[in-house]
Structure 1
Amino acid sequence: MYHIYLVEDEANLSEVLKAYMEKEGWSVTIFDNGDDAVKAVETPPHLWVLDIMLPGTDGYHILKEIRQQEGDVPVIFISARDQDLDRVLGLEMGSDDYLAKPFLPQELIIRAKKLLSRVYGEENTEAKKVELNEYTIDPQARTVVDQESDEQIELTTKEMDLILLLTEDVGKALSREEIIENVWGENYFGSERAVDDVVRRVRKKMPRIHLETLYGYGYRVLSS
């Protein structure tokens, strides 16, 4: 069961959103001010739904705390302020999606489902394990095990998403744009260099992986 932290000071809206999310079988904890939400950062949920304008600590500061404490937990920003400015600032600071008020509750559910699926994988799917360069990659468990040491390699969410994407079809070249869309999402506004940074970290953690650079285009994983 997914656990959602909903940080929203409008009581009517938060209760409506909670009801919609609970219909999906999700557990929801509501915070009506930023100060209480900051205290909860140390026990991260599967997803934050975070308003920007809050009593006490604002959403920007909470997002900063989330990224410092547990950098890969997905965050959806919601705001009724300057939509373009908030969207750009939120995404640049590390939010994964953005919704401008007013919005339909079902729109939040659709976006949350898509984000949860992308980050944690589809529930109840039987994706096959991939054995590659003496690594066992398990899409369902979202783990990578080094066969030489029989130890699990600790990967961040983005590193795991990249490996799973590139090993869906070994040998297939993917452009940086395709990787951005699949790993960061369609609303990502940052630099494509983020892809290069994640690739660099993956190569360091998985030195035997044959992750080939296609200069001026993107990357692919080869079997040998």
Structure 2
Amino acid sequence: MSYTIYLVEDEENLNELLTKYLESEGWHVTSFLNGESARQHIGQSPHLWILDIMLPDIDGYALIKEIKNEDPDVPVIFISARDADIDRVLGLELGSSDYISKPFLPRELIIRVQKLLKLIYKKDAPDHKKGLSVAKYRVFESLREVYEDDKKISLTSKEFDLLLLFMNNQGRAFSREDILTHVWGEDYFGTDRVVDDLVRRLRKKMPDLKVETIYGFGYRMLKA
């Protein structure tokens, strides 16, 4: 499987070197030289982030908070010229999976990435033949999990409930009020605009779903 990796490293020569090593393993690498350019791609669901802590604008700690807020399950490896124990502990507390101190051999990074990807994406992967197919995704209702190839897509509880509603009623039009009742329950009190936000988030995470907007009414998922 070809994994997608986002690399954030402001030292241009090191960025290019690490990119070449990572791509030599058959992985697709998108590299960034600063935090702000990387921030624009948060939510695009790579398989792995590699973050330098010391960046010229936004530091790695601020970035990982935003990354984990959008995708709690995506693994992150920190790289840093600082080798202080407090940095390692803080990184772990913020959700990093590993920490490498500079200077390091590029091959060391490759080995750590290989082990982490295998651990995250191969362990406990369900039998895709048993899942329900919708578009390019496999949905496991009892596990409440969704996969695209071997990559797990992280959905919130309400996002998954909305997906099931659409999947089990393909072609049927739902008003915003219908969706509120099915996903939030009859006792929900608030604006129906939360439905628009929920649909937007589901489309962003699963862009190949054919969810159609019925203007002035609601939504429906077209049959594949």
TM-score category of the 2 structures, normalised to the smaller one = 0.5 to 0.7
CA contact (8 A) 1:143 1:152 kept: no
Deviation at 1:141, TM superposition (A): 4.0
- Report the AA paired with residue 105 of structure 2: L
Cα gap change, 1:155 to 1:141, in 2 (>3 Å): same
Q: Aligned equivalents of 1:5 and 1:143: distance in 2?
A: 31
Q: Secondary structure at the match of 2:58?
A: coil
Q: Aligned equivalents of 2:45 and 2:111: distance in 1?
A: 22
TM-score by length of 2: 0.57
Deviation at 1:81, TM superposition (A): 1.8
Deviation at 1:86, TM superposition (A): 1.1
CA contact (8 A) 1:144 1:153 kept: no
**Structure 2 unaligned blocks of 5 or more:** 133-139, 147-151, 155-224
Q: What per-residue deviation string (whole Å, max 9, x for no partner) do you get for residues 52-96 of structure 1?
A: 011211100100001100000000000112431211110111000
**Structure 1 unaligned blocks of 5 or more:** 123-136, 160-224
Identity, % of aligned positions: 56
Counterpart in 2 of 1:23?
A: 24
Cα gap change, 1:138 to 1:63, in 2 (>3 Å): closer
- Report the AA paired with residue 64 of structure 2: L
- Report the AA paired with residue 141 of structure 2: E
The answer to whether 1:151 aligns with 2:141 is: yes
Cα gap change, 1:92 to 1:140, in 2 (>3 Å): same
Tell me the C-alpha RMSD between the 2 structures. Answer: 2.5
- Report the AA paired with residue 65 of structure 1: E
- The structure 1 segments of at least 4 consecutive aligned residues displaced by more than 6 Å after TM superposition are 142-145
> Residues 1-224 of structure 1: matches in 2 within 5 Å?
1-121=2-122, 139-141=126-128, 151=141, 153-155=143-145
Which structure has the larger Rg?
2
TM-score by length of 1: 0.57
Cα gap change, 1:25 to 1:140, in 2 (>3 Å): farther
